[in-house]
Amino acid sequence: MSVFHRRSVTVLAARVRTAHAARIWIPLGHGSWAAYCQAEFDINPAYRARHSQMPSAMGIG
């Protein structure tokens, strides 16, 4: 992985942690983090379970 990609992943992970900690899905009208991700990012059902587990994998869930 290049330095650019590593930095991009680091920035994205920080933003995901911030959004999850702020429980951003609630004021946006979603019942859960998984529902927020599905609605906002239209995640393919094949990947949805993996993405909904991302916060706990990142130590924030």
* pLDDT, tens digit (0-9, with 9 covering 90-100), for 2-54: 888 888 888 888 898 899 999 999 999 999 988 888 888 876 666 666 666 66
Q: What residue type is 20 in one-letter code?
A: H
Give the number of other CB atoms < 10 A from CB of residue 20.
18
Token digits of residue 21 = 């900690």
Instruction: Enumerate residues 6+ apart whose C-beta is below 8 A from 32.
Output: 25, 52
pTM of the model: 0.61
Instruction: Identify each DSSP E strand in the chain by its residue range.
Output: none
Write the burial class of residue 11 (CB in 10 Å: 0-12 exposed, 13-18 middle, 19+ buried): exposed
